[in-house]
Structure 1
Amino acid sequence: MKNNSEWLKVVGAAVFEVMWVIGLKHAATMWEWLITVVAIIISFYVMISASTKLPVGTVYSVFVGLGTAGTVVADMVLFGEPFKLMKLVLVVILLAGVIGLKMVTKEAEVKGAS
């Protein structure tokens, strides 16, 4: 059960990744840049925290995959990026790869597992 909380950290870190990527593109004021920097710090701190208990390569791949998918969806929903079916299909394929990678990560590979 503890590993599930570590994976939730990775998902949370990916949410903050989406925030800071959006901030890098759209920040214009000092406060927006400050929020962007805080999101970067939180994102990487939480991801690194999760990687102390989970396999680093899998954590990073899931983090980047979820962040990429989230950024693409956020661009379409929040900023009027044109909807393209092929882009959505590719995001779904990316997410399938991320979920598959997480599923094939054996419990024995997880640090601290018995």
Structure 2
Amino acid sequence: MNRNWALVILAGLIEILWAIGLKHSSSWLSWMGTALLIYLSFALLVKATKTLPVATVYAIFTGIGTAGTVIVEMVVFGEAFSWTKVLFILLLLSGVLGLKLVTTDSGEKEGGV
């Protein structure tokens, strides 16, 4: 895995935090933190899409964010657990992993343009 894919994964992990911040922020300080996380995740995403295919990057970014947010809500915030949710999260993650596996280095844009 190269540096740009690491940026996509990091951006997706940060997306989990800001998505939870959208629901649970209650003070101006927590809203400012949420806004900062949104900026940071998209800055990393934009940097990664300079050399990686945008469609694949965005699908992976949102997949990580969606699955992670559902898992954190169930584990940390007491959202109702459902095996059906777990099944669909696994299905989503298998699609994300499949996209990553079929996106080869030859599909990457050349740097500088």
What is the TM-score when the length of structure 2 is the normalising length?
0.94
Q: What secondary structure sits across from 1:22 in the alignment?
A: helix
How far, CA to CA, are the matches of 1:31 and 1:78 in structure 2?
21
Q: Which residue of 2 aligns with 1:25?
A: 23
Higher helix content, 1 or 2: 1
Matched residue type, 1:13: A
- In structure 1, what is the Cα distance between the partners aligned to 2:105 and 2:26? 45
The equivalent of 2:51 in structure 1 is 53
Q: CA RMSD in A?
A: 1.1
Letter in 2 for 1:61: A
Q: Shift in Å at residue 106 of structure 1? A: 2.3
Q: Percent identity?
A: 43
Q: For 1:105 and 1:55, how far apart are their aligned partners in 2?
A: 8
2:2 maps to 4
Q: Deviations 1:45-99 (Å, cap 9, x if unpaired)? A: 0011001010011000000001000000010111001110010010000000000
Aligned to 2:77: 79
Q: Tell me the CA shift for residue 16 of structure 1.
A: 1.0
Moved over 2 A (4+): none
Distance in structure 2 (CA, Å) of the matches to 1:47 and 1:68: 16
Calculate the TM-score normalised by the size of structure 1.
0.94
In structure 2, stretches of 5+ residues that fail to align are none
